[in-house]
Every structure is written in C-alpha cells, then in structure tokens.
Chain A
Amino acid sequence: MITQARTGPQPVGSSDFEVCYERYWWPMVRLATGLLGDRAAAEDAVQEAFTAVYRRWSTLAEVTRIGYLRVCVVNATRTTQRRQTTQRKHLRLVEDRPAAGADEGLIQQFDRDDLRQALNLLPLRQREVLALRFVSELPDAEIAQATGLSLGGVRSASSRGIAALRSSMGELR
C-alpha cells in the first residue's frame, strides 16, 4: 500500500510561523523601540510587520523570512514616525526634566535623554542604520537589506551618524 502522502503548501499559521513569531517578537520590539523611542508604538509596528509577513509566509523562501520581517519592521516604524512627525506639528511637547544636581540615576536619565534627543535629530536613514547596527548587531550587508541602502550607503550613513552623535554628545563617558 502506498504510504507516501503528497506534499504541498502548508497553511500559514502552522508551527514554523509561530516559532518565528515567538523567537523574533522581542528582538523586533527592541529594534523598533530603538528606532521609535516608545515601547507601545514599537509593539504596534512589530504587530504590523508580523501581519505583513504572515500574509506572505507561504510564498517566502525560508532563508529570506527574517530579512523580510526586518524590512517590514523598519518600514512600519517609518510609517509610525511620519505619523508622529505630523502629531508633533500640532503639539508642543513639554519636557518634564528634573533639576540638576542629581544622583547617579538621574545622571543616567540625562544620558538617555541626551542620546534619544541626539538620535531624533539624525536623518531617518542614519538612525535606522545605527539602530540596526547597535541594537540588532547586524553586519553591513544585512543592514543594507533591511534599509534598502547599498553597502556603501550603509557605511556612509553609519559614519555620518556616529560623527553627528559625537559632535552633539561629546566623547561619552
């Protein structure tokens, strides 16, 4: 008796997608947080990215899935940032920053605020390249894939972004 079942496309939502979701959800939230500076917005962007991947799961080659996911996360954060930019035009953000003379915790708070403000002043592509490099710890080739830049563009954006941060924040302790 023939015992060989025909193979065919497995439905999206089968275990390999779930494994991917569980494994990469948190790293992608960290990446999106690095880009957006806001955990809730980051989770929304990551959900949007996974939904996009989910719909195309069966058509994506296995080796390209994570790369595609990263592209979707970066794209989703771009959309979020455009939205935030529009909102900022209509809102005057009030800084609730404590007075100087603080302890170590407050110094760290200042450090974080300074870095976030410095990052927010960078052009979008430079910020993306730095987040992918320092948060996701990706090599230049994968950063190029995620951002749509050439390898040269990645290196250029990286060095310019780092130079801009050094200029605005000093040498760092």
Chain B
Amino acid sequence: MNDFETRLAARFAALVDHEAGAPDSAPPFVPVLEDEAPDRRSRTRVFLVAAVVVMVAALTWAGLSQVIRLPGPQVAGPPTPSAGTTATAVSTAPSTSASAQTTSSVAGASTTVVGGMTLSLPAGWTVTPQTYSGGSGPIPGSTVWCIDPVTAKGSCTISLTSAGQATGNPLDVDVEGGWSSNPSYCSADVRQGQATHTLDVADVRSFGGRSAEYRKWTHTCTATQVVQAEMYEVAYAPAWILFSEHADSYVSAVMAWVAQHSTLPVQTLPLRLQDLGYVRSVHASVSAYIVTLDRVYASAYSTAGEINNSSTTYEYTIPALLVDAAGKQIAAPKVGDRAFIVTNGSAVTGYSVRPL
C-alpha cells in the first residue's frame, strides 16, 4: 500500500466512522418474510410465489393425506367453542378498546395471549384457533391454535396445544404430535419397505421459560415425500405442545423463536404427566410402591436404540390397587421394568411395562 492508499484508507475509515456512528450492538434478530419487502415488484413476486406455494401445498397435502395418517387431535366430536379457543390479544399500550389488538414488543414481532400463554410471533406470522370439520374435534381438555405465515393463515403449519391429560390417550413426549395414540407416518410406505424414519434430535430445551422435551424426526415416506416433524412438549401441568410436521429449516427456526420469546403459564402440579424409563428401585408399602425411574428417550426409529442422557432418577408412588385399562390390577413393579407412567399431575394414574 503506497502513501496515497494509506491516506485513502484512513480517510475512508473516518468517513465510515462518521456515517455509521458509534459502534452498536446488534438489535434482536427477527425472521422476516419476503412479503415485507418494500418495493412493489418484490411484493408482487412474493404474492405470486405464495399463491403457487399455497396451491402446491394444497395439492401435496391432499396427496399426502391419502398415504399418511397425520398425528394430531384424533378424538371425534363436535367442536366446542369456548373462551379458551379464542385468541385474546393484549396491548401494552393504553387502549380504550376491550378487544385490544396485537402489539409489538420486538421490532416486527407480535405478542398475543392464548389460553394463558403469552405467545410471541415473528413478523409475518399469525395465530388462529384451529377449526374442525367432519365431526372431528380437539382432544377433550385440550385447545389447539394454528401458527402460520399470514399468507397461509389457518393451515396449521405449526400447531400449539394447551394439552390436558385425556383418559385412554395420555401425553407421550416420544410420539409425533405429543399423544400416545398418534399413528406413525407413512405406514403404507413402511409396509412396502420404502420408508425410512430417523430421530434426529432428542433433548431438553426451553419453551416459554419452561423445560420441554424436544424432538426432531425425519420420515422419508418415498423418494419425493419427506415429513420433517419437530416438537417441544412441556410435560408438566399445564402441558403445552408446539408441533410441526412441516419443520423445514425456516419453520424450525420460527419454532425456536417462538419457544425462546414466548412465556408459558407456570407449572401448577408437581408430577410430570407422563414418563418413561427403567425402574431402578422399588420400595413396597401396604398401599403403594415407591419406585425410582431412570428416564430414557424412546425411539422407535433410532438405530442407536434408547437415549439416556442423564442418570437422574425420578420418584413416583404407584398405588398398589392401581388397575390397567382392562380393569385388571397391575402387577407389582420390579427393578428393571421398562415402565410407562401416567399421572394427573398429582398422583400416578397409570403404570404399564413396555418392553423395548
């Protein structure tokens, strides 16, 4: 670099220092949809792309629905409108309106209260109560909202569930969608030997300030049909599930953003609603068995088998007179049992042995 270049570099640096101002830390990063681009040509282009995407998604959805039984609310019944199914927006600004609208707390983001949860959404995303048709309805005691891009409102790209423990269909953090009864993906292709399934990630992450079981699965039904599923499930009451079966990298990022920026209602009951693990000790009394459970992450798909990231054990009191679903008294728990435990948050209501 010669003298002129040295002086030019210094002058250039001084110019940029002046124009850019004092060094700043980065503002919060908010994912932005393309339809927020400021110029009209971009908006038009994005609109056209969005229209095509919606059409393709609709056609693909229709096709996939024929071959995939999707997890989610499975219990039939008429929709039950209630206060809990209405997304109630709040504003931090003074408002004279009883139905205050959504407000921004982070640039471009919005905050809404749904079912007692303060839900933060990145710009361009919206939440609506899930609608039901054909006699279907939510699992009793649960409420589902759909989180979608504003261009695909109501399509349930991500589902958000305020989950209640349902009789005969307990929560299950190792099943896509979060419920024990949810069917597997692309079962028809499994029978034809085409499908592959992987559990990509299983760990514990924060969701709305609470600890959630996090899972990510990939189901390759056929060469052209791949289902990417991802879930955050808070398994203590009140339980919440954030789930998507369209969890490409962008949707996955939105879920992570929602999980990080939202706030869930605090835990109200001491026991986890569902647990799975190996019984490490049993102490019998007249009326109950006190067991310690070494939790595992189950995977029907992982070639690595079960995952046990921690040697921590959890204590449960199993009533001696507990009966199974058939009304038969359960067998006494034994050390080494691979036990599936269901609770109502305060007491154990189900104990069954599930061999690997």
Instruction: Please list the residues of chain A having a beta carbon within 8 angstroms of any beta carbon in chain B.
Output: 1-14, 18, 21-22, 25-26, 29-30, 33-34, 37-39, 42, 47, 50-51, 54-59, 83, 108, 111-112, 115-116, 130-131, 133-135, 162, 165-166, 171-173
Contact = CB atoms under 8 A, between A and B. Distances in A.
Contact of A134 (B9, B18, B230, B308): B9
B198 A6 contact: yes
Contacts of B218: 8
Contacts of A165: 8
Interface string B1-29: 00011011101111110111101111101
The listed residue with most A CB atoms (<10 A of its CB), out of B8, B9, B218, is B8
Contacts of A166: 4
The 9 closest A-B CB pairs, nearest first, are A8-B200, A25-B26, A11-B252, A12-B253, A13-B253, A134-B12, A13-B256, A33-B20, A172-B7
A135 B304 contact: no
Contacts of A47: 32
A33 B304 CA distance: 50
Contacts of B202: 5-6
B32 A14 contact: no
Contact of A115 (B4, B15, B31, B201): B15
Contact of B201 (A8, A39, A130): A8
B26 A22 contact: yes
Nearest to A83: B39
Interface size class of B (residues with CB under 8 A): 35 or more
A100 to B, nearest CB: 20
Q: Chain B at the A interface: mostly helix, strand, loop or mixed?
A: mixed
B302 interface: yes
Contacts of B199: 6, 8
Contacts, number: 141
Contacts of B95: none
15 contacts: A3-B307, A4-B307, A6-B299, A8-B201, A8-B218, A9-B200, A11-B216, A11-B256, A12-B250, A12-B256, A14-B256, A25-B26, A33-B20, A51-B32, A172-B11
B24 A2 contact: no
B203 interface: yes
Contacts of A13: 31, 252-253, 256-257, 260
Contact of B304 (A2, A34, A130, A133): A2
B147 interface: no
Interface of B: 4-5, 7-9, 11-16, 18-21, 23-27, 29, 31-32, 39, 198-203, 216, 218, 230, 249-250, 252-253, 255-257, 260, 278, 296-297, 299, 302-309
Given A8-B218, A133-B9, 4 more contacts: A1-B278, A131-B12, A162-B5, A165-B8
Contacts of B27: 25
Contacts of B253: 11-13, 54, 57
A3 B309 contact: yes
Contacts of A172: 4, 7-8, 11
A55 B308 contact: no
Nearest to B228: A9
Contact of A5 (B9, B25, B304): B304
Given A39-B20, A42-B20, A165-B8, A5 B256 contact: no
Contact of B14 (A9, A112, A131, A162): A112
B40 to A, nearest CB: 11
A30 B4 contact: no
Contacts of A18: 29
Nearest to A163: B4
The listed residue with most A CB atoms (<10 A of its CB), out of B14, B26, B32, is B26
Nearest to A111: B11
Nearest to B12: A134
A133 B29 CA distance: 27
Given A8-B200, A12-B252, A2 B8 contact: no
A77 B351 CA distance: 62
